[in-house]
Amino acid sequence: MKPAKPCRIKPCLTAALLLLTFSATAQTPERWDIPLDPRDWKLVAERQEGRLTERVYAAPGESEYFWNEKLTIGHQRLAFSPDDYLPAFLDFLSENCRPYKVTPIKQEASDVLLQWEGDCRITGSQFEYRRIVAAKDGVHIIAYAAKTNRLSEPKREAWLAMMRDAKLK
């Protein structure tokens, strides 16, 4: 039996840091306190682009691209107001979901709730409530989306109440 090769400091340190980074990312608790419906929502995507981190949850049996309902939870570091986040989001809608219509529901300096409807290239016609809240560590985002043809008025009202009542932990 050959003795194990000694671990070189730089490669071992790099590998250990990568493992810790991925482990910490996967186990970071959500900051939103929102009373979801009793279904077992599943994490179907997690991405980080620059200062923005997003997690996408789908209803049981659905996926990131094939969904009828989804919940997106995000955090943008180094953003200090909803105005730091909204221009890039509206640019995304302009590029991917035309035509679209945005309706503000609540507009305060550190808390915005809006709804938008649009026909998106990949996912088709959809409806979304999106809430953006500024905190000391950046801007936090929570969004509920549903296919337009799958959203009843009672369900829409229930999700609007949940989004309004959601609090950061």
- The reported pTM is 0.78
Do 149 and 89 form a contact (C-beta atoms < 8 A)? no
Q: Which residues pair with 131 in a beta bridge?
A: 113, 142
Residue type, 76: Q
DSSP state of 164: H
Separation of alpha carbons 21 and 44, rounded Å: 19
Q: Number of helices (H) and strands (E) in the chain: give both, helices first.
A: 3, 9
Domains parsed from the chain with CATH numbers: 31-168 (3.40.1000.10)
Top pLDDT among 40 and 144 is at: 144
pLDDT score for 13: 33
Q: Which residues pair with 42 in a beta bridge?
A: 58
What confidence tens digit (pLDDT) does each residue in 15-73 have? 333 333 333 344 345 788 887 777 888 999 999 998 889 999 998 899 988 999 999 99
